[in-house]
Structure 1
Amino acid sequence: MQTHSLLALLTGLYVATTSVTAQPRPAKAPPAKARNAAPSALLPEQRLPRTEPETHLRFLASDELQGRRTGEPGNRIAARYIAEQFRLLGLRPAGEGNDYFQPIAFERVGSATMATLTLGKDTLRLGKELVVMAGGPSTLSGEVVYVGYGLTDAEDGYKGRDVKGRIVVAQGGSPEAKGPGEIFRASNRKRQLATEKGAAALIELYAESIPWGFVNQYFSREQVSLPAPADGGAPVAHLWVNNTNNQYKQLKEPGQSVTLRTSGRPRSTAPSANVAGIIEGTDPKLKDEYVVLSAHFDHVGVGKQGGNPYQPSDSIFNGARDNAFGTVALLSAAKSLTQQRPKRSILVLALTGEEVGLLGSRYYAEHPLVPLKQTIFDLNTDGAGYNDTTLISVIGLERTGAKAEIEAGAKAFGLGIFAEPAPEQGLFDRSDNVNFAIKGVPAPDIAPGFTAFDAAIGKYYHQAIDNPDSINFGYLHRFCQAYAHMARLIADRATRPQWVAGDKYEAAGKALYGQ
């Protein structure tokens, strides 16, 4: 029997199993602390069987799903499993063709095998001073055109410059870019604009905060990218040059000539999908507003795809913590909120492509299934793991306007809140919540309890040993209950949450909601 057939059979068996688990059944009473704190002993989240989250996680993080890498069969099986759970719970399909899927035709981008850039007497080479970001095979010679950051048509950009068929040089990053996500998003915008302008190649002078060694290693592996716009043509040859010590500043000067050779990066299709279902609210007016519950279900795959060392005896990066944990919380919340619906409507959104650049959420933000203007909040759940099972950690708690509800949701199940863990990591902009925030939607990230990126986190984060048998299932159960209760409280609150004054996403929120 071929692997994909076996996996399909296993999926069917698990769906059948959970169809039994999903039926109401007597459950153990919650701990005394949770009983005293919870507003009602009858809420569905309090009746959630302890074994149900465990069952979901053991399937989603099983070896059979091969690390759920975007574009691979295990990822598609995970999406199907989630969709069938939505169907079992009675969620209304929010995807295409009256189904739960929002298909995305990702591209798989292979690694380059050769690249050189000759500048005077210097020859820069792939794997040393150069990385190839995109584009097909190219051999080009000519004078370069410096366009500043290469992000706009303004005075320090393309204004007054005809770059059709020319080699464009841009400064790396952007004036605002601090973390990796912002740097990569700026780079993608530069490539898109250079392509639109008809440039033959784009060279970025890289001198950003991410060490060059990491950049070199990361872009020497296969990547997955969003599909190019249908009318945008093939992307230009795009390279980063290590300009950490400003040693190639002459590339900014007029009259500089270079010769560029690159094998390019081969592209092929890598289909995947977000999974989305709707729970209609009960209030005649508020049901036209939506709270999005989101979590990514993809992980990094098998072997070299994982990007970290592994043993021949265990080469599967199961991703139990990141993010089968959050996906299970999403399914648990969907069940609770279906059994007792809140005032506002809920969009339950399982996202693909997070590990390859937050791509599933970025695609959704550009192609929303419910109007963003009617989306009042995104309660995202994602994390690297936990080192404190008495807590839930929240990135963006103080910024996104629902602090009271989030704290109450955790307290109802005996858990504390730890706000803004590991601020040096820039975590707010490193998960799917940021793509909602960019559009103006208040969007914190709810993570398993951690207070710092310490050895307990690093032991499992993107490691092959992050498998189901290493999970504290009692903590998973309480986390799922608390997440569902937070969602209920936010969906039932009288007023919309608002960005705090002065937040960097406040202006986007005012523009979105017409404030």
Structure 2
Amino acid sequence: MDQLKLALIFLFFPVSLVGQIKQIKKTVTKKEVEHHMYFLASDSLRGRDVGTPGIEIAARYIANQFENYGVGPIDDGYFQEVPLKVTKPLKSGHMTIADTTLNFKESFVALRGGNMNKKAGVVFAAYGMPGDLDSLAIEVTDKYVVTWAGDKGVSSVRDWFSLMRKKSGHLKEKGALGLIEIYNYRSMPWSMLARYMGNTRMELYNEQEEDNLPVYWVNDPDQKLTKKIQAKGLVAEIMLEGAETKIIREKNVVGVIKGKDKKLSEEYIILSAHYDHVGVGDPVKKEGMPADSIFNGARDNALGTSGLLMAAKYFGKNRPKRSVIFLAFTAEEKGLLGSEWYAENPLAPLSKCIFNLNIDAAGYNDTTMVTVFGVEKNTAEGAIQQATEEAGLKMGYDPIPEQRIFRRSDHFNFAKKGIPSVLYSPGVTAFDDEITYYYHQVTDNPETLNYNYVTVYYHAFINTADYLANSDKVAKWNIDEEEFIKAAEELYGKP
């Protein structure tokens, strides 16, 4: 460890916290860890899929454990309702534009909107951002607006989805009929995207946004159609049929322990994990195992949920200076929807939340360490390493940056708001066969885990949380994290 990082540790943490690990080990036992894991990842919960009885049982179990461990409700109860819209896929359709007919799935998909049968004029608006519309002086009322997907310099498909919402909202205000984006992202083949969009989809439901602007992505890798579309006076016709929608109400499970320090108790540390998984599928036969159809999700993410419960037990007996919010999210597997809903509808002011320590996993392949995704992005890096090592494990960094894991779990919805956040994962050195054998597979059962390691991993997680919740210092984004610094300035104000 270099001298600068060592100095940051002692700046960030009061020395008096050293030694809490003994109390953590006494409180968090292997026997109780196994008890939670075997319940949450049991066949009786049928894979904890959203919209099923199994996830309802899991939610009530988590709430009951919060209450038993001394974690109180943050609002009227432990449940925050999360409204979701479920859309069964469109069955067929076509789009005719610039004398070219595109078939549904083969050449275009619907990101938003249901059945459609409408012909209207077309205008091209570069990336379609508000500034583009203003600079091009385009009239979009009662027209389909064609743009490139994303924005200049934005290379993440997940970010393209976020920008799509921004564009479509602005275009709706301007009176447009629909948004058609040109998709040319080479890292995700069109066939994969079309297959994904052809499945039943789930999204957050907002009654005020029920009449969202229809949005379509068109595959145009050679840009031939894009060149045609830039001509003036074109007309497009879109015909789609077969969509069905319904609204369901799911639950985030939320609890809080009030801090004991008069001043610092007004600030919150968020500890989080998602408790949903992917449910039941077609029977799968693995070598040496009977056929199975239940995806129990022991690693992903009964492991994280059990860790959250163990943290609840510890803090219920050892109140820290700061208040601690415990968040068990629904619908992470559907696109981080539970955490997105909470981030937009928080039960405590986000400006009072100073850190999110999120626990999630695809699995592990190194039991001597933990992997902390995004830890290098904020000033708590050295402190988290110290807390982890005190529990007997090494701290590792993101070994697979090309997979952009930091942006693929619930903490990212808080990072986008400006809250320093990390993903505290079991030890991963590569996305290898040891990970893929269990990740979203019927093999991911509770009896396949190393509970000696899992228990120590929880010790490290809780020790890290304890340090964050008791430090007199507040973590900040590092100076090169411009995206998050800007969000933090909007949330907390400029320093």
TM-score of the superposition, structure 1-length normalised?
0.87
Task: Say whether the 8 Å CA contact 1:91–1:278 is kept in structure 2.
Answer: yes
- Whether 2:427 is the aligned partner of 1:420: answer no
The 1:475–1:253 alpha-carbon spacing in structure 2 relative to 1, beyond 3 Å, is farther
Amino acid at match of 2:338: G
Determine the structure 2 residue equivalent to 1:94: 74
Q: Residue 340 of structure 2 aligns to which amino acid in structure 1?
A: R
Deviation, structure 1 residue 176: 4.4
* In the alignment, structure 1 residue 136 sits paired with structure 2 residue 117: no
The answer as to 2:462 corresponding to 1:484 is yes
1:165 to 116, 122, 142: 142
- Return 61-70 or 433-442, whichever deviates more: 61-70
**Separation in 1 of the partners of 2:419 and 2:235?**
46
Say whether 1:66 aligns with 2:46. yes
1:411-468, CA deviations, whole angstroms, 9 ceiling, x for partnerless residues?
1221101112211111111111111111110001101110111121111111121121
* Counterpart contact for 2:21–2:459, Cα < 8 Å: no
2:260 matches 1:319: no
Check whether the contact 1:68–1:300 (CA below 8 A) recurs between aligned residues.
yes
Task: Return 497-506 or 203-212, whichever deviates more.
Answer: 203-212
Deviation, structure 1 residue 270: 2.0
After the TM superposition, which residues 368-387 of structure 1 pair with which residues of structure 2 at under 5 Å, given as runs? 368-387=346-365
Confirm whether residue 511 of structure 1 aligns to residue 482 of structure 2.
no
Q: How does 1:84-483 map to 2 (within 5 A)?
A: 84-95=64-75, 98-152=76-130, 154-156=131-133, 160-208=137-185, 209-228=187-206, 230-249=207-226, 250-263=228-241, 265-303=243-281, 313-483=291-461
Secondary structure, aligned partner of 1:408: helix
The answer to whether the Cα contact below 8 Å between 2:336 and 2:409 also exists between their aligned partners in 1 is: yes
Q: Output the amino acid matched with 2:83.
A: A
Residues in 1 aligned to 2:73 and 2:112: alpha-carbon distance in whole angstroms: 36
* SS of aligned partner of 1:204: strand
The code of the aligned residue for 1:116 comes to H
SS of match in other structure, 1:115? strand
Q: Take 1:284 and 1:324, find their aligned partners in 2: how far apart are those partners?
A: 35
Counterpart secondary structure, 1:405: helix
CA distance in 1, matches of 2:369, 2:182: 43
Structure 1 residues 164-193: Cα deviation after superposition (integer angstroms, max 9, x where no partner): 322121211223433332122222333333
State the secondary structure of the residue aligned to 2:192. Answer: helix
From the superposition, tell whether residues 262 and 309 of structure 1 become closer, same or farther in structure 2 (CA, over 3 Å).
Answer: farther
The answer to whether the Cα contact below 8 Å between 1:45 and 1:485 also exists between their aligned partners in 2 is: no
Distance 1:351 1:151 in 2: 32
Contact 2:21 2:391 in 1 (8 A): no
Amino acid corresponding to residue 274 of structure 1 in structure 2: N
For residue 310 of structure 1, report the CA deviation from its aligned partner. 7.0
The 2-side partners of 1:41 and 1:399 are apart by 25
In 2, the alpha carbon distance for the partners of 1:351 and 1:100 equals 12
Distance 1:151 1:71, change over 3 A: farther
167-176 or 356-365, which deviates more? 167-176
Q: Judging changes above 3 Å, is the alpha-carbon distance between structure 1 residues 63 and 164 closer, same or farther for their aligned structure 2 residues?
A: farther
Aligned-pair RMSD on alpha carbons?
Answer: 2.1
Deviation at 1:475, TM superposition (A): 1.3
8 A Cα contact 2:24 2:462, kept in partner: no
User: How far apart are the structure 2 equivalents of 1:310 and 1:102?
Assistant: 38
Query: Which whole-Å CA distance do the structure 1 matches of 2:89 and 2:368 have between them?
Result: 43
2:473 to 495, 501, 505: 495
CA deviation vs aligned residue, 1:335-386 (integer Å, no higher than 9, x gap): 1111111111100111111111111111111111111111010001112111
C-alpha change, 1:480 and 1:488, in structure 2 (3 Å) is same
- Amino acid paired to 2:320: P
In 2, distance between residues paired with 1:245 and 1:489?
54
Counterpart amino acid of residue 419 in structure 1: Y
Instruction: Give the conservation status (yes or no) of the 8 Å contact 1:410–1:483.
Output: yes
Query: Is the Cα–Cα contact under 8 Å of residues 45 and 333 in structure 1 kept in the other structure?
Result: no
Q: Mind listing any 5+ residue stretches in structure 2 that lack a counterpart?
A: 1-16
Greater mean alpha carbon deviation, residues 364-373 or residues 185-194: 185-194
Any conservation in 1 of the 2:83–2:250 contact (CA below 8 Å)? yes
Letter in 2 for 1:219: M
CA distance in 1, matches of 2:208, 2:91: 28
Instruction: Give identity over the alignment, percent.
Output: 38
Matches of 2:93 and 2:134, distance apart in 1: 26
Moved over 4 A (4+): 156-159, 308-312
Partner secondary structure for residue 325 of structure 2 = strand
| 2:277–2:300 CA contact under 8 A, matched in 1 | yes
Distance 1:180 1:57 in 2: 34
- Tell me what 1:55 maps to: 35
Q: Are the equivalent residues in 2 in contact too, given 1:134–1:265 (CA < 8 A)?
A: no
Q: Which runs of 5+ in 1 are unaligned?
A: 1-36
8 Å CA contact retained: 2:259, 2:321? yes
Measure how far apart 1:327 and its partner are: 1.0
Structure-2 separation of matches of 1:335 and 1:291: 16
Q: 1:159 to 1:78 in 2, by over 3 A?
A: farther
SS in 2 for 1:456: helix
Indicate the SS of the match to 2:208.
coil
Whether the aligned pair in 2 keeps the contact of 1:407 and 1:417 (CA below 8 Å) is yes
Over 3 Å counting, the alpha-carbon distance change for 1:150 and 1:45 in structure 2 is farther
Cα gap change, 1:39 to 1:240, in 2 (>3 Å): same
Alignment length, in residue pairs? 472
TM-score, length basis structure 2: 0.90
Question: Do the aligned residues in 1 keep the contact of 2:358 with 2:424 (CA within 8 Å)?
Answer: yes
